[in-house]
Structure formats: C-alpha cells, structure tokens
C-alpha cells in the first residue's frame, strides 16, 4: 500500500537539522518502509521551504495534515469546558461550548451525562451563535453518510443515530426517538428525508453485527428532546444567556 505523508511544520530551525538526518530518520521507521514520503519544513509566514526530502514532488496532504493539526492542538492547546452550567437549587442551567462527547457513540463522556442526570430540571440556554450545518466542500450525496453529520454548538450522540444488527437479526437504533421506517424492499441500506428526521432502513442490506451511523437534522427542539431522552428529566429551552 502506498502511503503519502506530507508534513508542514512551522518552527525555528537550528543548524543541526539536515536533509540527511531527515532521510536517516525516515529509513529508521519500519512503518514507512514501503511508503512514499515527502517532508517539507518551512518557517511560519514564509513561502520558502528550508529542509526536507522530495520537496519538489507534487503532493496532496489530505488527511495527513489533519493528523498533524490534531497533534499540534493536543500538545499546545488548552482544555475547554464541556458545558457552561449553573445550579439554582435543583435546577441545572446549561449552555453549550461545542463539546462533542455527550453520549457520543464511540467516546461517551459519562461524567457529563451524570452531571445532567443529577438535576431535577434542566434549563437549556441555546447558543446565540449560528453555525453553518455543513463545512466547505460538502456534497449532497453525503448527507446520509457517517462522515457528514451536521454541525452545531451542542452535539448529542455525535449528531448521528447508530443502527446495529444483532445476532438474531434485529435492529437496535440509538437514540430511538426518531421515526424509523423498516422496509425490506428498499434498494439501499438506509436513507433519510432531506429536510426531516424520517429514516428508512432495510435490515436485509445490513450485515450481521454491522453498525451504521446516519446523521440526523439538528435543531434546538431536537437537542431538547435528546437531553430529555438521556436524563429522563424536564428540559426547558431558553434563548437568554446564563446569569
């Protein structure tokens, strides 16, 4: 398998760094033995490459650059609050921060779920900041794909529903608050109405033990319903900020 790696790093280079040292490092990495590697090192705010290997080769960084961005943010970034919140007696007032792990299907934050469940009443102060539901270069064909959930300030369940086919062939849907139409004659494994959270699923098109993720349409009403579903508590939505 050919692997393409392109590293764009901005930092102050010292005289000890050389192209030969970079090549030596690459040759010492077992996971790069069969890879085609390009490394370009340049200072920030300048369009001049300083060091590297295969610098003049045409490259498309794609997801490799995303991995570097994630690593840089982990190493240099600060932590964020999962929620802005305030208890008033037994009522919990919450406001979103963009934190994505409330009941996330792969990385759920149980502490956050426990916090919400500890209140008798939850007041959800929705964010005044409107976020475009799709990022640049999204495609209409991708609106039902797992990698294209809508964006909002308070993701819940990763903004997708999770459909799993169990040993007995039955489907398990989480969260189970949306309208699901089971149709064994449908020619696809799943579909969702373009502007409505109405899903059609064909269990015969889903392999045993397989799991699929389908984006749902986000809204304040949906967020309210999902928090209520998770906590089994009364949830009130307000447009004002937490005082």
Q: Per residue in 137-153, pLDDT tens?
A: 778 888 899 999 999 99
Residue 55: inside a domain: yes
Q: Per residue in 213-222, pLDDT tens?
A: 999 999 999 9
Between CA 151 and CA 198 the distance in angstroms is: 19
Tell whether omega for the bond before 12 is within 30 degrees of 0, i.e. cis: no
Global pTM? 0.72
How sure is the predictor about 68, in pLDDT bands with cuts at 50, 70 and 90? Answer: confident
**Sequence-separated (6 or more) residues with CB below 8 Å from residue 43:** 10, 11, 12, 13, 50
Number of Cβ within 10 Å of residue 107's Cβ equals 8
Please tell me whether residues 142 and 214 are part of one structural domain. Answer: yes
What pLDDT, on a 0 to 100 scale, did the predictor assign at position 24?
Answer: 82
Please tell me whether residues 89 and 125 are part of one structural domain. Answer: yes
Please tell me whether residues 72 and 90 are part of one structural domain. Answer: no
Q: Which domain holds residue 26?
A: 4-76
Please tell me whether residues 172 and 226 are part of one structural domain. Answer: yes
How sure is the predictor about 10, in pLDDT bands with cuts at 50, 70 and 90? Answer: very low
Of 21, 55, 76, the residue that ends a domain is 76
Of 56, 76, 96, the residue that ends a domain is 76
How sure is the predictor about 5, in pLDDT bands with cuts at 50, 70 and 90? Answer: very low
Between CA 39 and CA 23 the distance in angstroms is: 9
Cβ contact 161:174 at 8 Å? yes
Structure-token pair, residue 162 = 């999770």
How sure is the predictor about 15, in pLDDT bands with cuts at 50, 70 and 90? Answer: very low
Structure-token pair, residue 195 = 């502007």
Please tell me whether residues 157 and 195 are part of one structural domain. Answer: yes
What pLDDT, on a 0 to 100 scale, did the predictor assign at position 212?
Answer: 96
Average pLDDT of the segment spanning 59-79:
70
Residue 243: inside a domain: no
Total domain count, the chain: 2
């Amino acid at each position: 398998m050919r692997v393409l790696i392109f590293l764009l790093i901005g930092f102050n280079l010292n005289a000890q760094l050389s192209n030969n040292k970079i090549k030596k490092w690459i040759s010492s990495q077992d996971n790069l033995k069969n890879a085609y590697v390009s490394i370009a090192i340049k200072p920030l705010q300048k369009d001049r490459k300083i060091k590297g290997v295969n610098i003049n080769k045409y490259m498309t960084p794609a997801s490799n650059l995303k991995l570097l961005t994630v690593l840089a943010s982990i190493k240099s970034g600060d932590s964020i609050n999962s929620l802005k919140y305030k208890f008033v007696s037994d009522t919990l007032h919450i406001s979103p921060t963009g934190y994505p792990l409330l009941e996330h299907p792969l990385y759920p934050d149980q502490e956050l779920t426990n916090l919400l469940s500890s209140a008798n009443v939850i007041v959800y102060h929705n964010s005044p900041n409107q976020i475009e539901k799709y990022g640049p270069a999204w495609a209409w064909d991708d609106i039902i794909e797992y990698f294209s959930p809508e964006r909002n300030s308070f993701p819940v369940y990763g903004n997708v529903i999770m459909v799993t086919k169990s040993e007995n062939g039955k489907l398990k849907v989480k969260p189970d608050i949306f309208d699901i139409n089971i149709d064994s004659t449908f020619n696809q494994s799943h579909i969702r109405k373009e502007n409505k959270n109405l899903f059609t699923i064909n269990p015969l098109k889903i392999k045993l033990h397989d799991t699929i993720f389908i984006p749902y349409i986000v809204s304040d009403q949906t967020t309210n319903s999902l928090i209520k579903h998770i906590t089994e508590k009364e949830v009130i939505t307000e447009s004002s900020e937490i005082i």
